[in-house]
Amino acid sequence: MTLQLFDTATRSVRELAPRTPGKVGIYLCGATVQSAPHVGHLRPAVAFDVLRRWLTRRGYDVTLIRNITDIDDKILTKAEAAGVEWWAHAAIYERAFTSAYDALGILPPTFEPRATGHVPQMIDLMQRLVEKGHAYSTGPGNVWFDVRSWPHYGELTTQRLEDLNPEATDDVAASEKRDPHDFALWKAPRPGEPETAAWDTPFGRGRPGWHLECSAMAHRYLGEAFDIHGGGLDLRFPHHENEQAQSRAAGYGFADRWMHSAWVTQQGVKMSKSLGNGLLASELLAQVPAAVVRYALTAVQYRSMLEWGPDTLDEARATWDRLTGFVARASERVGAVPREEVLAAELPAGFAAAMDDDLNVPAALAVVHETLKAGNSALAASDDDAARVALVALRAMLDVLGLDPADPQWASAADTRVADALDAVVQVQLDARAAARAAKDYATGDAIRDRLAAAGVVVQDSPDGARWALADPKGE
């Protein structure tokens, strides 16, 4: 089966046909480092990490560019309010995003360019647009993209220019635009802004507009045309629409396919700081194991809204405990499986088919749970060969999702104190049950088993003695 991925631009699922066979270039809109990340920021990072891992597993050489926007209006405003240099403010929150990404096991991008490091490329692109008649200056430092010069504007989001509301702005210079819909490529400094937040250009001193940054950096690292441009659903308009317009107006093919991850919502409302419903990543990761958070963000297909409610993490934690419990018991029973073997293992056909179907993770996880059930049954039957087969397959599938429990990312971070304490308590009960059964006091043995079952512990008898596992509400 070929890999099919949804294209936001055509609103259809299409076969991936890379421009260069065997290689895939991806540009992913990264963070604007104005403040600390919340769980909504983490979803696109996790979604495109899964895409990257699946492409790599299928044998593609993936180049993933994830930018950092380290200069914009909000960064300047918040830095001034905090009494720090704007670049220092940006650096603080860039580290916060990186820390959250690392905690969740998100692979580092191939390159992670900062906007402020690519001003020459932005100036080149801006000059090209002016020369082609698609941009104009209204005074020192102010350059605008002329949307009416590009007849395909609105094509990405299927909108007509006359139906669109202009971008809100309080710039005095905005009154000089030819059309209210024209957007800024370059912005003259506002009164009171620091001198360090502006650069010299042929059009006067100023700083870049948000949209220009990404077009320039995508061109710098991926060339005139590349395979996939990704980001959160909220970026489709105006950011991605404007990126596409200015890049294609400059004569570049730009992105062959657009992919967008859906929002994290609470009670149906998009999670955001402005609405006061953003759950900070640092607070969340201080309370919940990072693997559990990653599982919760991964388990819903990337184009589906993820409703974040009271049970979200409880359900993710219960599933993660079942997965890690099996991997620990099976590894103890059949021996540790080398990671190289896991990476080379053939994946179950159903899992691969689900991932090829626009990263249908819920369907892929159904295969994971089938394998988990088979593995637990093999352990209970003392079928070591079958248990090992299930262990390798389970770990291989979870590795694609960035969730292999035996990966050092999770194994080294695991706090086993609770598990160790539970194991010790349950083992005392199992020893008492074994003693009762040896004395033919089956009533006492059954009573111990029933008490454990009532506490959510399932006892599995085998020729090698009794083993235990946490009860699975799904029967796996």
**From the annotation, which residues make up the binding site for Zn(2+)?**
29, 214, 239, 243
In angstroms, how far is the first alpha carbon of the chain from the final one?
29
Give CA 411 to chain center in angstroms.
21
- Asked if residue 108 has a cis previous peptide bond (ω within 30° of 0), the answer is no
Q: Which residues pair with 467 in a beta bridge?
A: 460
If you count them, how many residues does the chain have?
A: 476
Least Cα distance to 398 among 446, 339, 356, 453 occurs for: 339
Structure tokens at 312: 């979200």
CB of 263 closer than 8 Å to CB of 40: yes
DSSP 305-344: -EE--TTHHHHHHHHHHHHHHHHHHHHHHH-PPPHHHHHH
Q: Which two tokens stand for residue 349?
A: 């056909």
**Which residues are CB-neighbours of 409 under 8 A, at least 6 positions away?**
105, 402
CA distance 321 to 328: 10
∠ CA(95), CA(96), CA(102), 5° rounding?
A: 85
> Cα(156)–Cα(23) distance, rounded to whole angstroms?
25
Relative to beta strand 225-232, strand 254-261 is parallel
Q: 319 CB contacts (<8 Å, ≥6 apart)?
A: 295, 299
Contacts of 164 (CB under 8 A, 6+ apart): 154, 181
- Residue ranges of the binding site for ATP: 273
Q: Binding-site residues, please?
A: 29, 214, 239, 243, 273
Helix (H) or strand (E) holding 390: helix 384-400
86-103 vs 39-57: helix axis angle to the nearest 10? 60
CA nearest neighbour of 9 among 212, 211, 190, 256: 256
Using DSSP's 3-state secondary structure scheme, residue 17 falls into coil
